[in-house]
Structure 1
Amino acid sequence: MSADDTRQLLIDAATRAFAEHGVHNASLLEITRQAGQRNRGAVHYHFGSREGMLVAVLAREAEFLGPRERELLAVAQSRPREDLASVFEAVVRPAVELAETGWRGRCFLQIVAQLVDDGPGSTDPAVQEVLGRTGGFEVYDLLDQRMPPMPEALQIERTALATSFLLRSIADRARARDRETPGRAQLSTEDFIRNLISMVTAMVTAPVP
């Protein structure tokens, strides 16, 4: 097996483990075992650290999201200032498209939702850099400009909660469609996207308490 093959097996194992157990709690030894590697130092050999492995996991999907988010961001920028829905579409639609590519996309969304919960101050700079490749930071800059007036702390809280909600909702929907036993009826992809955009827009524009 080549070094590239080994690296890809480790990335796949880490993607599942980070999504299921958490970025900080997943066992590197268990990731190594799930990848079929006997060398206990395989993670450090190929990635240098837990953060290096996380960067590799995120980078694979960032290349998919970046062009799509920026394409929809350009559309949102052409809309009136009060149009928040078009800004959220630049997050929701690419994320749904990614989730429908398979389990890797779904796990990516779960991992990013964790990082949003942690906040940027607790995230390694290299991780922040790879997240920047998705175009998400540019989308959220526009969202900040279009949010209705409210205290800064409340705006940050609403944006974080809305982001976590939409990412997990998209990942959960993809997971439900993978189940062998049917659950509740699912909306069509387009109806799901439009409804989710409407819901998160309502969340961030709800009356200030």
Structure 2
Amino acid sequence: MSAADTRELLIDAALRAFAEHGIHNASLLEITRMAGQRNRGAVHYHFGSRERLLLATLEAPAAILGTRERELLARAQEHSEDDVAPVLEAVIRPVVELSENGWRGRCYLKILAEVAYEARTTMSAPVAALIAETGGYEVLEVLSRRLPPMDDAVRDERFALLARFVLDSAADRVPADGSAPGMGIDRFIANLVSMASAMLTAPVPD
């Protein structure tokens, strides 16, 4: 087996483990076992650290999301300056589309939800740079200009909760048993956009 093949097996195992147990709690030894590797140090040999393994799980989907989100964001900016729905669709539609691409896409969204929520407190520069590739920060910048007046603390809290809500909702759309989702993709997206719009524009508490 080539080194590239081994890396792919470890990445697939890490996707499952990070999504199920969390990026900090997943066992590197268990990831090694799931990948069918006998060398207990396989993760460190091929990636060097837990963080570099995390980066490897995020890299390819981040580029896919970034291309799609920027395409939709360009369209959204043709709408009224106070219309948040098309901007939200620019981030929601790509992640829901990714959830349709099998278990890898759904695991990625679970991991991204955890990383995005933790961004409020701590995120290394390499992880932040990779998250930036998804285009999500660009969407939030446009949203900030279209939201009703609110202080930074409330806005940032809403953005953090929104990211987790949207990503988890998209990841959980397809039932674990593989049966068909209860709602078609376009209606699911429209409903999620409507709920997210209400979340962001809700009255600001005193």
Q: TM-score, normalised by structure 1?
A: 0.94
Q: Which amino acid aligns with 2:177?
A: R
How far did residue 63 of structure 1 move? 2.2
1:6-60: CA deviation from partner (whole Å, max 9, x where unpaired): 0000000000000000001100010001000111111111111111000000002
Higher relative helix content: 1
Instruction: Quote how far apart the aligned CAs of 1:191 are.
Output: 0.4
Residues 120 and 128, structure 1, Cα contact 8 Å, conserved in 2: no
Question: Aligned to 2:172, what secondary structure does the other structure show?
Answer: helix
Question: Any stretches of 5+ residues in structure 2 without a counterpart?
Answer: none
Aligned partner of 2:182 in structure 1 is: 186
Distance 2:143 2:104 in 1: 27
Residue 24 of structure 1: aligned partner: 24
Provide, for residues 105-136 of structure 1, a one-character-per-residue CA deviation record: whole Å limited to 9, x for no partner: 10111111111221244112111111111111
Question: What's the offset of the Cα at 1:181?
Answer: 6.8
CA contact (8 A) 1:65 1:95 kept: yes
Identity fraction in percent: 57
Q: CA deviation at 1:158?
A: 1.0
Deviations 1:71-91 (A, max 9, x none): 001011222110101111011
User: Which residue matches 2:126?
Assistant: 126
In 1, are the aligned partners of 2:120 and 2:160 still within 8 Å (CA)?
no
After the TM superposition, list the runs of 4 or more consecutive aligned residues in structure 1 that deviate by more than 3 angstroms: none
Distance (Å, rounded) in 2 between the aligned partners of 1:181 and 1:99: 14
User: 1:13 maps to what in 2?
Assistant: 13
- Structure 1 residue 107 and structure 2 residue 145: aligned? no
Give the Cα–Cα distance (whole angstroms) in 1 for the partners of residues 79 and 179 of structure 2.
42
Q: How does 1:134-173 map to 2 (within 5 A)?
A: 134-173=134-173
CA distance in 2, matches of 1:180, 1:203: 30
Change beyond 3 A, Cα 1:89–1:180: closer
Aligned residues: 205
Structure 2: how far apart are the matches of 1:120 and 1:204? 17
Alpha-carbon distance between aligned partners in 2 of 1:153 and 1:162, rounded to the nearest angstrom = 14
* Residues 120 and 127 of structure 1, relative CA distance in 2, 3 Å threshold: farther
CA distance in 2, matches of 1:81, 1:180: 40
> What is the DSSP-based 3-state SS (H/G/I as helix, E as strand, rest coil) of the residue aligned with 1:173?
coil
1:117 aligns with 2:117: yes
8 Å contact kept, 1:158–1:204: yes
